[in-house]
Structure 1
């Protein structure tokens, strides 16, 4: 089984760059999208393309048009789809969507960024505190859980191209990295690092200074899986050659 997580930075923009031709070639079973920046009613042609590729699709957009929003595309129809998390401000921003299947649950997550200023950094910390409690409760109901998405956090120094100069940057702040460490230690697997311990693997690059060509990036997109799924993990691959966004997709393969 192939599961892709991809912050597309606007599904309409990505679709003009042969996103759906690329998606068809991947033959993915499930796709978690973040930052779709569209209401389903705005993209009937895109929904038709998705259906032609054999996917059921579920959308949880932000109330604000052209902002945030998550989606799940899946060739296997879920038993249940949970829209949002019950926290009003988070749900207004369209940040959490979950699909439950027979063997596991899959969540598409778009964590807030704090890079636009102090106010949003405070909201990011608020989200992190809420998410800890929310996931702890959810795991009682869904012990086999994969949380795929854009966490907007680099966990360790090898996850960012220049850890010294970015020591005070949102996304690599000590408090954020500590949160990620504790979250993983509470029973999650960073599936990419489970298979690959090497540096210089990134999932996001600034549009500035030719950063992508120079591979001056950040690894902020993850598939985190709960420990009971350890034996199901087969392979995780970052796909930097997919250029529909300032992010790139991450592919998780599970054993049957």
Structure 2
């Protein structure tokens, strides 16, 4: 671990932004067939040296710079199960960050939980739970009461739909919290992922005339800057196939939405939000950036900051991602 990484892991302080890696030049290689814009360029990446390699939450006090006056702080976090993350420091981070809206994915709860820590912060809680016990799950927790809450993805006829999406309508902003379908080992559920994308496009278009933020674990990357070892994973690993990446681009194009993190960090490479437990991925800097905030043209200018909490690893194999949104919601 570099001195910078050690410092970041120890303090977890968002006030000092690290110098970011720049994208490598595109490959000059040409194919006879048209290439997907997401296809690997031939230059593989890992996380830069300044990204921490810690495997548990940093010791000591966690502290983060507060949002600008008038901004609302939102956090997305795949917690890989409420029960397991709770035992590994879930509330240490949430209390330190103190987001106004918290979107959790892969909660794996079978009923809305009675959780003293979360209940003390969030008066308004919405838990999306599927038919299969201990599987998937999404939740939106808010200090402000929304005007409408809708569970599931309309048109996606799957038993897990309710556990994968919650649409929360605030007076000025629509927030769609998501735990997207995964294409699965050996891409065995890729067809279901395509059906998900078709339904998703229609659902997001429903709110085209509103300020819209779609966020959570999207289980897809934009291009090879967002995963390690891209050339070996193209069309082999869920989340980085031509079918998924092109469908993701189609959805964003049809809804006039953009990845807020990428807009604010256009040249960043190797800044990941997920490092699998297996294969020593965290230590090797071998991750994926699959958790993010996507905003339409109306909402994007309101996102004043969007950051990955690189040091907050260990309570989950995903990292929280923070967005500050010019309020009110």
TM range (shorter): over 0.9
Residue 80 of structure 1: CA displacement? 1.2
- State how far apart, in whole Å, the 2-side matches of 1:176 and 1:109 are: 16
Unmatched tracts of structure 2, length 5 or more? 1-71
Match of 1:145 among 212, 219, 233: 212
1:72 and 2:140 correspond:
yes
Going from structure 1 to structure 2, the CA distance change for 1:76 and 1:90 (only over 3 Å counts) comes to same
Structure 1: unaligned runs, 5 residues or longer:
none
The structural deviation recorded for 1:166 is 0.8
Higher helix proportion, which one? 1
**TM-score of the superposed pair, with normalisation by structure 2:** 0.73
Deviation track 1:23-49 (CA, whole Å, cap 9, x = no partner) reads 0110100011111100235x32x2x32
Higher strand proportion: 1
2:106 is equivalent to residue 35 of structure 1? yes
Distance 2:78 2:157 in 1: 23
Q: Following superposition, which runs of at least 4 residues in structure 1 exceed 4 angstroms of deviation?
A: 90-93
Q: Which residue of 1 aligns with 2:323?
A: 252
Q: 1:64 touches 1:93 (CA, 8 Å); kept in 2?
A: no
SS where residue 218 of structure 1 aligns? coil
The answer to whether structure 1 residue 155 and structure 2 residue 226 are counterparts is no
**Is the 8 Å Cα contact of residues 110 and 133 (structure 2) preserved in structure 1?**
yes
1:53: how far off? 1.9
8 Å contact kept, 2:149–2:169: yes
Q: By how many angstroms is 1:16 displaced? A: 0.7
Q: Deviations over 1:172-225 (max 9, x none)?
A: 001111112222223102000011121011011121221112211011111001
TM-score by length of 1: 0.92
Partner of 2:288: 218
> How far apart in 2 are the matches of 1:118 and 1:214?
25
Q: 1:232 aligns with which of 302, 317, 323?
A: 302
Find the aligned partners of 1:79 and 1:112 in 2 and give their Cα distance.
27
Task: Note closer, same or farther for the CA distance 1:196–1:118 as it changes in structure 2 (3 Å cut).
Answer: closer
Superposed CA RMSD in Å reads: 1.6
Instruction: Indicate the structure whose relative CO is greater, using CA pairs within 8 Å and at least 6 residues apart.
Output: 2
1:105 is matched with which residue: 174, 177, 190? 174
Secondary structure class of the residue paired with 2:83 = helix
Tell me how far 1:89 sits from its aligned partner.
Answer: 1.1
Question: What residue is the counterpart of 1:185 in the other structure?
Answer: 253
Q: Which moved more, 1:7-16 or 1:128-137?
A: 128-137
Equivalent of residue 95 in structure 1, options 146, 157, 164? 164
The structure number with the bigger radius of gyration is 2
